Amino acid sequence: MNRLVHAIAISVLALSLAPVAADAAPHKRVAKKEAHASIVKRARVSKTYTVPRSPMVARQSRSIVRLAPAKPSFGEMAGLHATQDELDLRSSVALVIDQDSNEILLRKNDSAVLPIASITKLMTGLVISEAKLPMDEAVTISQDDVDTEKFTGSRLRVGATLTRGELMQLALMSSENRAAHALGRTYPGGLNAFVEAMNSRAKLLGMNDTKYVEPTGLSSRNQSSAQDLARLVAFASNDPMLRELTTTPERQVEVGNRTMQFHTTNRLVKNPAWEIGLQKTGYIAEAGQCLVMQAKVAGRKLIMVFLDSAGKLSRIGDAERVRKWVETHSPSGLPSPNTIIRQVNG
């Protein structure tokens, strides 16, 4: 009897403990899963912050990037952009002259002396052209031609060999800095003699506000005024070589075993609405966007100078504004310069 009671008691006790044992294993597995999930979650959170994946986090990361403010041009620092004009030009300096009559159609801060960037290359081309150097002579790009002023790149590698004529084309059409520097470096007497020749030619043209220190325009110390540059454009437009090289839309050049395609920096050259005889563009931060041209508009040969223009395409826009303005006015109907553009001496 006692054995029967003892056996029943053990059975009851086992049955009562069975659910507890059955629940214990799942709880243990759940705990392990929760612990694993917690580790994974912490890892994912850590990874998310380290390498942002979600668009929101990416946007937040980008939003904290701070860009350096744009470097102001010399014209901006001088307050020339505050000058208002009736054509709403974006250039702080402008001058438009009838080449045949020397009549000034438009002027704006035209005596201000500013950096002229790659407009410099027009004088570089003029000096080389007048020197009558052989255009088929081979010239090799050297380490001396690498830009140490602005650290700009170039498609012309050190060691590349081209003819002087090809370097002239690339300097005047595509504003190739190494090409322009190589032209000056290989001038008889070297680079110093070339820069001296540039300044001497400027003086002979009456460009008394102009100074050159190198042949590319990368230096902000290359400076001039719109009045001086108008004299240069008027004279250079009579040089057949400069006319051709500055108005060529594109050209293929063999450099070693490669054929390279170069294009004009002035989109107006390809525009059938324009009849351009000579042109040159330029840009460095200190000079802003620059453009000089000799072009026939409404039957008149015009000299146009635009300096220190704000915005990548603004110099082109200014030229278009002037063209449309001249085309919609007869010569006798054009207002006088003093009523069209307020003259401000910089």
The pLDDT tens digits of the residues spanning 189-233 come to 999 999 999 999 999 999 999 999 999 999 999 999 999 999 999
Q: Is the pLDDT of residue 332 over 80?
A: no
Question: Tell me, what's the pLDDT at 252?
Answer: 95
Highest mean pLDDT among 56-65, 151-160, 323-332: 151-160
pLDDT band at 69; cut points 50, 70, 90: low
Q: Which two tokens stand for residue 265?
A: 């920096």
Q: Is the pLDDT of residue 158 over 60?
A: yes
Q: Is the pLDDT of residue 36 over 80?
A: no
Cα–Cα distance between 203 and 99 in angstroms, integer?
20
Cα–Cα distance between 207 and 285 in angstroms, integer?
23
Query: How far out from the chain centre does Cα 14 lie?
Result: 88
Q: Is the pLDDT of residue 274 over 60?
A: yes
Beta-sheet pairing, 258-263 with 161-163: unpaired
Cα–Cα distance between 299 and 279 in angstroms, integer?
18
Residue 118 identity: S
Q: Is 224 a catalytic residue?
A: no
Cα–Cα distance between 68 and 83 in angstroms, integer?
27
**In this predicted model, what pLDDT tens digit does every residue of 277-325 receive, in sequence order?**
999 999 999 999 999 999 999 999 999 999 999 988 999 999 999 999 9
Question: Tell me, what's the pLDDT at 329?
Answer: 82
Question: Tell me, what's the pLDDT at 342?
Answer: 39
**In this predicted model, what pLDDT tens digit does every residue of 1-13 receive, in sequence order?**
555 445 545 454 4
Q: Which residue has the tokens 């012309």?
A: 156
Beta-sheet pairing, 161-163 with 138-140: antiparallel
Higher pLDDT, 275 or 5: 275
Is there a contact between 231 and 206 (Cβ–Cβ < 8 Å)?
yes
Catalytic residue among 175, 225, 237, 314: 175
pLDDT band at 188; cut points 50, 70, 90: very high
Beta-sheet pairing, 250-255 with 258-263: antiparallel
Choose the weakest-confidence range: 5-14, 106-115, 265-274. 5-14
Q: What is the mean pLDDT of residues 258-262?
A: 95
Cα-Cα-Cα-Cα dihedral sign, residues 98, 99, 103, 106 = positive
Q: Is 47 a catalytic residue?
A: no
At residue 343, what are phi and psi to the nearest 5 degrees? -80, 125
Question: Tell me, what's the pLDDT at 311?
Answer: 86
Write the DSSP string, 223-284: EE-HHHHHHHHHHHTT-HHHHHHHT--EEEEEETTEEEEEE-S-GGGG-TT-EEEEEEEEEE
Higher pLDDT, 311 or 40: 311
Question: Tell me, what's the pLDDT at 26?
Answer: 39
Question: Tell me, what's the pLDDT at 66?
Answer: 56
Cα–Cα distance between 203 and 209 in angstroms, integer?
9
pLDDT band at 70; cut points 50, 70, 90: confident
Taking all residues of the chain, what is their mean pLDDT, rounded to a whole number? 84
CA-to-CA separations, 153 to 146, 178, 258, 338, in angstroms, rounded = 8, 9, 18, 43
Q: Is 121 a catalytic residue?
A: yes
Catalytic residue among 118, 224, 237, 314: 118
Catalytic residue among 108, 121, 129, 219: 121
Cα–Cα distance between 324 and 16 in angstroms, integer?
102
Cα–Cα distance between 154 and 53 in angstroms, integer?
37
